Structure 1
């Protein structure tokens, strides 16, 4: 049972982190080029894409926080001494281990980001400060999994391993997280009665595509480096549990990349030909569903000891 809880907790942490990174990328890259629409009246102002993205960011960091709490429960269940008080065991794990210190930083990042996105979703000058604080919190949150995972436990090249892990996560968020945020903003805007025009959706896709392509390249490079660092030998890809899970992840990555390539070439035309209200093509939902499966395999992988450790 605790294996399942640990896996689902890591999935929640990774999913929340990637969407939170996507919220920041949506604000800094997509909306910087194409702000969206100019609302009229207070009710419409509450549905501006920037504010909708901030609300999505708040939900994302809450999901990441739930994952962090689940991870703590799973870790305590594995290492707990039944003859010691539970409170003392939790305190020892959190304060006296590198994993615990990374976990504390994770919780701090969740709290900071959550409060900041709440400010960013509000009206007035506080919103811009909220975006700055939220960006800082997401950067910290993106750094913490590497400190509590395989990268920090590598036998060699620890600093490059941690750096590669951080870039890997951020690139994943810039690609898949941003796509999820675009889809979420369109759905929320439509439900609030202020759908975004086809022209603006196509503009957003145009701004997103180079970001996704660059992120995919970063994911490929950092992923290969981490595989070389943790697997050791090629035969481990099919003889070791970690290697087999990594091989499965690579297959899912190829599937996600195939969906992304299709959407890159076809999505603008599909949006232009769609009826009203405008929406993204169904293949985007397939890509996001495959991304969810990819995160699940990643959650299993990060809970499996590498053969070279």
Structure 2
């Protein structure tokens, strides 16, 4: 059965129009570029470039390329943010064509609409503030197109980071004060999901793009990249934890039973998203348990060529696979409208003390498993690569040979 046929036969599910699919997916791509790239630059790239012993030529090449990536991320955020705002106008206009919603006059009227009954602030005012912050974030990153700024991008990246985070956080502020704890938890977990996912995917994309500068780097650049991958792996572990915990909460809220994952349209799209995310987690596991230990051992044994090959050939290949899966996730997100519970006629989820206790237990278990993952990867990296040659009676080393 096709998705279109299932959507048509499902009660309570409406297939989003093409403009809604493109604007929502594009907006999240823009957030990945702005949030993911700035967080990754500040948390992983910048410290690695400032590490002692790094060759000046490698630092200059990567710094310029990172600045260019951040600048393009600013341009992407500005364009996708405008289309996302127009999409909000079209949705609020009840039948307004998307082309008409692109008009600056329509957008201005939407942003100046009065507050509704019971609202503490007009919804348009919140979107106005959000988009002012979006323009400021884009401007900070766009300034990195300047050759002078590319030589020292740290300050602009540090300015763009909180502004980029503010774009999604401000949009989540409700115009009407939430009266139920469920609503507050929904807002918190939704933002955890967005920020964790955008940092994870945007960070992977940034590092994959930076790895394309390998022809400009020295033979000793493997040490720099080993440090860079190590730093980002810690960032990625935190992101994975945020995405999984928040994803479990949202799945429980919108899906009443396992069977609804393939008997409802919402459930099918969610199932596709889950498979893609698990694929990203599996690829991350390959990095954590196979590539990172090999990189650490090559670095410890001072195997320059092997280290360079692992950090700038093998690792980016896996990362590009993760990026492709992440793009698939963003393509599915616009289709997750409504709820599998409402389609199936199930009662809404009710948060109780036992549910919160079970959620806390799952969160602690996941945190412990991620900590164990990091420790296991570290233990694998310390494993010796081969047997230590045994000394002979005369004190000379005897190297075993094949008979």
TM-score by structure 2 length?
0.62
1:284 match: 319
Distance 1:277 1:166 in 2: 32
Distance 1:92 1:233 in 2: 43
2:270 match: 246
Equivalent residue of 1:112, what SS? helix
CA deviation digits over 1:127-159, x for unaligned, max 9? 5542332122112123145458xxx99976222
Report if the CA contact (8 A) 2:39-2:161 is conserved: no
Distance 1:174 1:180 in 2: 10
CA deviation digits over 1:58-96, x for unaligned, max 9? 3223223322322333344443567x9977654443333
Report if the CA contact (8 A) 1:52-1:121 is conserved: no
Report if the CA contact (8 A) 2:222-2:307 is conserved: no
1:230 match: 254
Residue 136 (structure 1) aligned with residue 171 (structure 2) = no
Report if the CA contact (8 A) 1:6-1:70 is conserved: no
Distance 1:137 1:32 in 2: 18
1:113-262 matches, cutoff 5 A: 113-119=137-143, 123=148, 127-144=153-170, 146-147=172-173, 157-187=182-212, 189-190=213-214, 193-194=216-217, 197-232=221-256, 234-262=258-286
1:11 match: 25
Equivalent residue of 2:49, what SS? coil
Report if the CA contact (8 A) 2:40-2:203 is conserved: yes
Equivalent residue of 1:305, what SS? coil
Please list every run of 5 or more consecutive structure 1 residues that lacks an aligned counterpart in the other structure.
none
Distance 1:277 1:249 in 2: 29
Equivalent residue of 1:157, what SS? helix
Equivalent residue of 1:171, what SS? helix
Distance 2:271 2:312 in 1: 38
Distance 2:266 2:242 in 1: 22
Report if the CA contact (8 A) 1:116-1:133 is conserved: yes
Deviates more, 1:258-267 or 1:275-284: 275-284
TM-score by structure 1 length?
0.79
Aligned pairs, how many?
298
Deviation at 1:291, TM superposition (A): 0.8
Instruction: Indicate how the Cα distance of structure 1 residues 61 and 299 shifts in structure 2: closer, same or farther if over 3 A, else same.
Output: farther
Deviates more, 1:163-172 or 1:288-297: 163-172
1:20 match: 34
1:305 match: 338
Q: Please give the root-mean-square deviation of Cα atoms over the aligned residues, in Å.
A: 3.7
**Bigger radius of gyration:** 2
1:70 match: 83
Distance 2:104 2:44 in 1: 46
